[in-house]
Structure 1
Amino acid sequence: MSLEQGIVFSVLGITLAMFVWNRLRFDVVAMLALLAVAVAGLVPTEELFAGFGHPAVITVAAVLVISQGLVNGGVVDNIARLLGRIGHRPTLQVLTLTSVVALCSGFINNVGALALLMPVAIWMSREAGRSPSLLLMPLAFGSLLGGTMTLIGTPPNIIIASYRESGTFGLFDFAPVGVAITLAGIAFITLAGWRLTPRREENSADSKLFSVGEYVTELRIPADSPHAGSTLHSLLTTSGDEPDVVVLALIRGEQRLAAPSTYKVLREGDVLLVEADTTSLQTFLDTTGLELAHQAIDDQEAESEGASNNDGLADESRGRNGFRETNGHNDAVGAGDDKAASDPIAKGELHLVEAVIAPESSLVGQTANRLQLRENHQINIVAVARLGHRLKRRLGDIRFNAGDILLVQGFEDSLGGALAELGCLPLAERGLRLGSPRNTALASGIFLASIAVIVTGLLSAPVALVAAAVAMVLVKLLSAAEAYKAIDWSVIVLLAAMIPVGQAMESTGGAGLIAAQMLVLGENLSVASVLVMILVGTTLLSNVVNNAAAAIVVAPIALSLAGELQIASDAVLMAVAVGASCAFMTPIGHQSNALVMEPGGYQFGDYWRLGLPLTVIVTVVAVPVIMLVWT
Structure 2
Amino acid sequence: MSWQAWATVAIIVVTMALFASERVRIDVVALIALAALAVLGIVTPAEALAGFSNEATVTVAAMFALSLGIERSGVLEPLARLLTRIRKPWLLTLAIMLVVAPLGAFIKNIALVATFLPLALRVCSQTRTSPSRVLMPMAYAAQMGGVCTLIGTSSNLLADSLAREGGLPGFSVFEFTGLGALLAVAGITYIMLVGRWMLPRESNLPEQENEEIGKYVTELRVTEKSSLLDQTIADAVLGENHGVYPLELLRGERRMWSPRSQKLQVGDVLLVRGSWDKIEAFRNRANLENAPEARYVRGNDETPRVVAEVMIAPASPIEGHRLGETALNWRYDATVLAIHRRGHILRDKLSNVSLAVGDVLMVLVDEAAMPRLRADENLIVLSQRENVRPIPRKAIIAVAILAAVVLASGLKLLPIPIAAVSGAAAMALTGCFGTKDVYEGMDWKIIVLLGAILPLGTAIEKTGLSQTVVEGAMNLVGYHSPLGALLMVYLLTALLTELMGHNPSVVLMVGIAISVAHAIGVSPQPFVVAVAFAAATSFATPVGYPTNTMVYYAGGYRFTDFMKMGIPLIGVFCALSMWLIPLFWPFHP
CA deviation vs aligned residue, 1:44-100 (integer Å, no higher than 9, x gap): 222221111100001101111000101122122222221112x22222111111121
Give the stretch that moved more between structures: 525-534 or 179-188: 525-534
The one of 179, 182, 185 equivalent to 1:183 is 185
Distance 1:8 1:359, change over 3 A: same
Matches within 5 A, 1:207-218: 207-210=211-214, 216=220
Within 5 Å, which residues of 2 pair with 1:42-121? 42-85=42-85, 87-121=86-120
Which residue pairs with 1:291 in the alignment? 266
Answer yes or no: is 1:144 the counterpart of 2:143: yes
Q: 2:32 corresponds to which residue?
A: 32
Question: What number of residue pairs does the alignment pair up?
Answer: 541
CA distance in 2, matches of 1:118, 1:613: 24
SS in 2 for 1:618: helix
Report the counterpart of residue 321 of structure 1 in structure 2. Answer: 283
Q: 1:72 to 1:182 in 2, by over 3 A?
A: same
Residue type of the alignment partner of 1:24: V
- Structure 1, 428-437 or 403-412: larger mean CA deviation: 428-437
What residue ranges of structure 2 are gaps of 5+ in the alignment? 227-243, 257-263, 269-276
Which entry has the higher C-alpha Rg, 1 or 2? 1
Pairing 1:161–2:160 present: yes
Matched, 1:507 2:459: no
Shift of 1:388: 3.9
Whether 1:597 and 2:552 are equivalent positions in the alignment is yes
Distance apart, 1:40 and its partner CA: 1.4
Summarize the alignment of residues 269-288 of structure 1 with structure 2, pairs less than 5 Å apart: 278=246, 280-281=248-249, 283=251
Q: 1:141 to 1:404 in 2, by over 3 A?
A: same
Contact 1:362–1:422 (CA<8 Å) still a contact in 2?
Answer: no
| Shift of residue 384, structure 1, vs aligned partner | 2.3
The Cα of 1:534 is off from its aligned counterpart by 1.0
Inter-CA distance 286–41: structure 2 relative to 1 (3 Å threshold): closer
Are 2:223 and 1:219 aligned?
yes
Deviation at 1:472, TM superposition (A): 0.2
Equivalent residue number for residue 453 of structure 1: 408
- TM-superposed CA distance for 1:162, in Å, is 1.0
Aligned equivalent of 1:351: 306
Q: TM-score, normalised by structure 1?
A: 0.80
Q: CA deviation at 1:382?
A: 2.4
Query: Is the alpha carbon distance of 1:515 and 1:285 closer, same or farther for their aligned partners in structure 2, counting shifts above 3 Å?
Result: closer
1:543 correspondence with 2:498: yes
Summarize the Cα distance change of 1:586–1:205 in structure 2 as closer, same or farther, 3 Å threshold. closer
Q: 1:196 to 1:551 in 2, by over 3 A?
A: same
Mark the CA change 1:108 to 1:389 in structure 2 (over 3 Å): closer, same or farther. Answer: same
Whether contact under 8 Å (2:526, 2:581) holds in the other structure is yes
Pairing of 1:236-251 with structure 2 (within 5 A): none
Whether the 8 Å contact between 1:144 and 1:581 is mirrored in structure 2 is yes
Aligned counterpart, 2:537: 582
Contact 1:108 / 1:153 at 8 angstroms: preserved in 2?
yes
Task: Tell me the CA shift for residue 316 of structure 1.
Answer: 8.1
The C-alpha deviation readout for 1:231-258, integer Å capped at 9, x for no partner, is xxxxxxxxxxxxxxxxxxxxxxxxxxxx
Deviation at 1:282?
6.3
**What secondary structure is seen at the aligned counterpart in 2 of 1:172?**
coil
Q: 2:76 is paired with a residue of what secondary structure?
A: helix
What is residue 566 of structure 1 aligned with on the other side? 521
**What is the CA-CA distance between 1:140 and the residue it aligns to?**
0.8
Q: 1 CA distance for matches of 2:467 and 2:43? A: 17
How far 1:106 sits from its partner (Å)? 0.6
Cα distance in 2, alignment partners of residues 426 and 163 from structure 1: 36
**What one-letter code is carried by the residue in structure 2 that aligns with 1:159?**
L
Query: Structure 2 CA distance, aligned partners of 1:17 and 1:205?
Result: 36
CA distance in 2, matches of 1:625, 1:450: 29
Aligned pair partner of 1:200 in 188, 203, 212: 203
Shift of 1:189: 1.0
1:507, 1:82 → 2: CA distance?
54
Q: C-alpha distance in 1, partners of 2:280/2:570?
A: 53
Gap change, CA 1:420 and 1:220, over 3 Å in 2: farther
User: Deviations along 1:568-602, whole A, 9 cap, x unmatched?
Assistant: 11100000001111111111101111111111111
Provide the C-alpha distance between the structure 2 equivalents of 1:291 and 1:425, rounded to a whole number of angstroms.
37
Instruction: Report the CA distance shift for 1:62/1:187 in structure 2 as closer, same or farther (over 3 A).
Output: same
Distance in 1 separating the partners of 2:561 and 2:459: 38
CA distance in structure 2 between the partners assigned to 1:316 and 1:586 by the alignment: 35
Q: Residue 562 of structure 2 aligns to which amino acid in structure 1?
A: Y
Deviations 1:172-212 (A, max 9, x none): 01112211111111111122212212222788997114456
Task: Indicate whether 1:433 and 2:433 are aligned.
Answer: no
Q: In structure 2, the residue corresponding to 1:69 is in which secondary structure?
A: helix
- Report if the CA contact (8 A) 1:121-1:135 is conserved: yes
Contact 2:318–2:355 under 8 Å retained in 1: yes
Letter in 1 for 2:105: G
Instruction: Report the more deviating stretch, 279-288 or 431-440.
Output: 279-288
- Cα distance change, pair 432–70 in 1 and its aligned pair in 2 (3 A): farther
Name the CA distance, whole Å, in 2 between partners of 1:363 and 1:317: 26
CA distance in 1, matches of 2:160, 2:332: 42
Distance 1:349 1:417 in 2: 15
Cα 1:566/1:400, change in 2 over 3 Å: same
Distance 2:155 2:279 in 1: 56
Distance 1:603 1:103 in 2: 28
Task: Name the CA shift for 1:455/1:371 in 2 (closer, same or farther; >3 Å).
Answer: closer
Q: Give the structure 2 partner of residue 3 of structure 1.
A: 3
| Matched residue type, 2:177 | A
d(CA) in 1 for partners of 2:420, 2:385: 30
2:274 corresponds in structure 1 to: none
Deviation digits for residues 331-351 of structure 1 (CA, Å, limit 9, x no counterpart): x999xxxxxxxxx98133333
Deviates more, 1:204-213 or 1:487-496: 204-213
- The DSSP-based 3-state class of the residue aligned with 2:383 is coil
CA distance in 2, matches of 1:563, 1:552: 18
Percent identity, please. Answer: 29
Deviation at 1:429, TM superposition (A): 3.3
CA-based RMSD: 3.0
Letter paired with 2:18: M
**What per-residue deviation string (whole Å, max 9, x for no partner) do you get for residues 553-578 of structure 1?**
11111111110012211100000001
Cα deviations across residues 463-497 of structure 1 (Å, max 9, x unaligned)? 00110001000011101111112211111111101
CA contact (8 A) 2:514 2:524 kept: yes
CA distance in 1, matches of 2:32, 2:91: 47
- 8 A contact 1:515–1:560 mirrored in 2: yes
Structure 1, gaps ≥5 residues long: 223-275, 294-314, 325-329, 335-343
The alpha-carbon deviation at position 367 of structure 1 amounts to 0.7
Question: 2-side partners of 1:499 and 1:8: how far apart?
Answer: 13
Q: Distance in 1 between matches of 2:217 and 2:446?
A: 41
CA contact (8 A) 2:394 2:431 kept: no
In structure 1, what residue type is equivalent to 2:432? L
Paired with 2:49 and 2:14, the residues of 1 have a C-alpha distance of: 21
Aligned to 1:408: 363
| Rounded Cα–Cα distance in structure 1 between residues aligned with 2:12 and 2:204 | 43
Q: Does the aligned pair in 2 maintain the 1:215–1:278 contact within 8 Å?
A: no
Task: Return the letter of the residue paired with 2:156.
Answer: N
2-side partners of 1:318 and 1:25: how far apart?
38
Deviation at 1:133, TM superposition (A): 1.2
Residues 536 and 579 in structure 1, CA contact (< 8 A), matched pair in contact too: yes
**CA–CA separation in structure 1 for the residues paired with 2:577 and 2:385:** 37
